Structure 1
Amino acid sequence: MMKTILGLHQQISRYDAALSAWGGSLMSMALRWYVGWQFFKAGLVKVSDWSATLALFHDEYRVPLLPPDLAAWFGAAGELALPLLLCVGLVSRPAALALFLVNAMAVISYPQLLSFECPAALNDHFYWGVMLLALVAFGPGRFSLDAWLAGRRAA
């Protein structure tokens, strides 16, 4: 009886490990695509009306240590380039960490965000930050260029 239970446990454990590996990779891919798309859309908005973007960085956003024009360039470039890296899974951990810093800077440089009656805007930044930190901690999964390159390097 004990052998039967142990055998069943081993089979379930193998299935659980395989499911975790594939499921975790699918979840990582979903997180990469979702959070990447959110930042990419923000970057597209910035470049679609550059004069409005510059006005926001001059009048509304208070980015520490950077002149407003340079902050606008860095913000737009980060929101366009980093999500692309994240979505394809290339240098994923550094891209996720850099997007986390972009996200944190957005919250820091726009103090009105903390005083809105509706907390949804701040909550979005919180959720994106958690997702990005999860990607930094657990990586992009097997459905990424990082994993593909690591496999080729090992071969």
Structure 2
Amino acid sequence: MTNHERNVSTGQRGIAALAERVNAALRTSATPSLTQLVLRCALAVPFWRSGVNKWDGFLQLNDVAVLLFTSELKLHLPGGPYDFPAPGLVAFASGLAEILLPILLVLGLATRLAAFGLLVMTLVIQLTVPDGWPLHITWAAMALGIMAWGPGRIALDHWIGTDNG
């Protein structure tokens, strides 16, 4: 083996060792947890903003929210569109979920359950506004990612030991 070949071989081993050290550092760093926190916050924001617009005060749903579910919003199912059943109750439940589930997501508490709740809401929103699928599929992907990978270490679930994923 020539000096050149030995130097190349040594260089390749050095690069491989450096790559392994970088991989080990990334596996133990907070980067995945920070990414999961950002993902949780990104999913929470649009639902929170929608929820805040449905309330006039503590447990006081505004008239516009009820009116939307009574006359404007329809479920686009085969043979439809159909009115929402019990529009007042649906407006209240969606408004409550749009406040509580984002709070849980940001805190990282009952994270997978909160993400599942927002995934279900996203599916209902898709049935209500079918042309919004490019945005809805993004929300669904974020919710599925949170459900699959969990809240990360920057979450109450991690600190109290309730997330086993």
Q: TM-score range by the shorter chain?
A: 0.7 to 0.9
1:137 counterpart (106, 128, 148): 148
- CA distance, structure 1, for counterparts of residue 31 and residue 69 of structure 2: 41
Shift of 1:8: 5.5
- CA distance, structure 2, for counterparts of residue 128 and residue 144 of structure 1: 20
1:44 counterpart (52, 58, 80): 52
SS in structure 2 opposite 1:58?
helix
Q: In structure 1, list runs of 5 or more residues that go unmatched.
A: 116-120
When normalised by structure 1's length, the TM-score is 0.80
User: Bigger relative contact order, structure 1 or 2, given CA contacts below 8 A and separation 6+?
Assistant: 1
Question: What is the aligned-residue identity percentage?
Answer: 29
2:125 counterpart (88, 92, 106): 106
Structure possessing the higher radius of gyration over alpha carbons: 2
Residue 67 of structure 2 corresponds to: 55
Q: In structure 2, list runs of 5 or more residues that go unmatched.
A: 1-5, 76-82
Residue 26 of structure 2 corresponds to: 19
Number of aligned residues: 144
Check 1:71–1:47 CA distance in 2 against 1; reply closer, same or farther (3 A cut): same
Shift of 1:17: 3.5
1:34 counterpart (42, 47, 50): 42
Residue 81 of structure 1 corresponds to: 100
Residue 158 of structure 2 corresponds to: 147
Shift of 1:10: 4.8
Of stretches 14-23 and 77-86 in structure 1, the one that deviates more from structure 2 is 14-23
- CA distance, structure 2, for counterparts of residue 40 and residue 128 of structure 1: 13
- CA distance, structure 1, for counterparts of residue 31 and residue 94 of structure 2: 33
Of stretches 40-49 and 69-78 in structure 1, the one that deviates more from structure 2 is 40-49
